[in-house]
Chains A and B, each alone.
Chain A
Amino acid sequence: MTPRIGILALQGDFAKHLHAFSESDCEAVLVKKPEEVLECQGLVIPGGESTTIGKLCERFGVDEAIMQLHQREAPIWGTCAGMILLAKEIEGSDQWRLGLMDIAVRRNAFGRQVNSFVTDLKIDGIPDGPVRAVFIRAPYVTRVGRGVEVLATLKDKIVMVHQDNLLATAFHPELTDARRIQQYFLNMVQQ
């Protein structure tokens, strides 16, 4: 069966994610409403503003649908803002979050926009050498709980983690042409 991958489209670079999945073996769709979320076998929470996406999730009941999806063990992948929303702990912030992943994150950890950068990143479990990784006002992970696997670090800062059915990247694979991380996520969905 071709899995349906929902791209949470409340706000953020959902169009880039949709495009990145367009040639993969899945049916990628934009989802905004709780009932649309529930029809998916996997969910991507895109980059964007984590405070905005979090407020919209809470305000329009999308949070409960995501929780239900998680309870069904459907994989969820968060990029940048998505990583922040998956985290249990956000340093110095009481902003709304899903809190599904046992990690602590620091927002805008590499600085403001003028410090945004692109680099080569070696990732455990991703074949064919480093990937080009775009970091935009990016967070990093400052603590991981038991059961959280660190897949990539950048100068000792944790930037990609995997815990059970959850995947989080501080950078934006959807902004480059490589599709290896999309494939890694699809493998999680198909297992």
Chain B
Amino acid sequence: MTEKSTWQTKVGLAEMLRGGVIMDVTNVEQAKIGEDAGAVAVMALERVPADIRAEGGVARMADLSIIEAIMDAVTIPVMAKCRIGHFAEAQVLQAIGVDFIDESEVLTPADQNFHIWKHDFNVPFVCGCTNLAEALRRIGEGAAMIRTKGEAGSGNIVEATRHMRAVITGIEHLKGLRDDELMTEAKNIGAPFELVRQVAHEGKLPVPNFSAGGIATPADAALMMQLGAESIFVGSGIFKSEDPAERALAIVHATTYYEDPHEVAKACKGLKGAAMVGIDVASLPEEERLATRGW
């Protein structure tokens, strides 16, 4: 029997993207720079998070003509973002054939109470999380890949490490619990019981877990990979730096050989252009923090 777009093919694509770098791009030229540098996928969007942050206004799904032009220009998978809860944007992105949808806090949320029911779709979804319970809620809704949120557009790794550590320590905590403690734990953290049980028994998330939000240097990428990320999303970090092509190459290099400091050093030393200018996240008022969107 042949079945299209099963849970297996969705999580399967996420598995194929492991050990790689997914780059935010806003046009065909950037997509090609990403592909040439060895990106495993590109995220097509209208503005990178740093610009969304600077310009304000409502951030929506990108212009479809931009996404389609990027799909025509590269052979690697093309992802696109829809707003949290905006299932009609997601339907449109599926209709034009994007390979992965990011229901993303980087765009302005469309629904304050409900995320998309992602099991209804043929296209796989990735969602952000700040801790294990949030990851499991999204997986319960059908996300085939999780990424920790970090603070998008900040060029600052501090939130990315916090969220990754929260997921990993959450898993470690579950592993130490007895079966008779899991229902109460599921209730206390607000996560689906069956998934809590699965993670407690298997000691890992049922889908790949990538890192996003603040990665700007090769060493940032190596840090997140060593903390347990299985791939890296780089948003503003590449195309807001002085020389995107060399930075893209360097971040791919450091992600591939993240556990070898000599290789990461080589990746760092090759860089002539400066990194993007970052933001001290502690100085950001609560309402400007993207990671607090979604629940």
* A contacts, CB < 8 Å to B: 9-16, 32, 47-49, 51-52, 55-56, 59-60, 80-81, 93, 95, 107-108, 112-120, 134-137, 172, 175-176
Contacts and interface: CB of A to CB of B under 8 A. Distances in A.
Contact of B13 (A10, A51, A59, A136): A136
B94 A114 contact: yes
Contacts of A120: 1-2
A4 B239 CA distance: 42
20 contacts: A12-B18, A47-B16, A48-B17, A48-B18, A49-B40, A51-B38, A59-B38, A59-B253, A60-B257, A93-B75, A113-B9, A113-B124, A114-B4, A116-B5, A117-B3, A120-B2, A135-B9, A137-B13, A172-B12, A175-B12
Given A49-B76, A118-B9, A137 B2 contact: no
A16 B13 CA distance: 12
Contacts of B20: 11-12, 48-49, 52
Contacts, number: 123
Interface string B83-127: 000000000001001111000000000000000000000111000
B8 A11 contact: no
A113 to B, nearest CB: 4
Given A11-B256, A118-B9, A175-B8, A81 B19 contact: no
Prevailing SS type, chain B contact patch: loop
Contacts of A12: 16, 18-20
Given A107-B75, A108-B75, A117 B16 contact: no
Contacts of B99: 112-114, 137
Give the one of B16, B38, B123 with max A CB within 10 A. B16
Interface string B7-26: 01100110111111000000
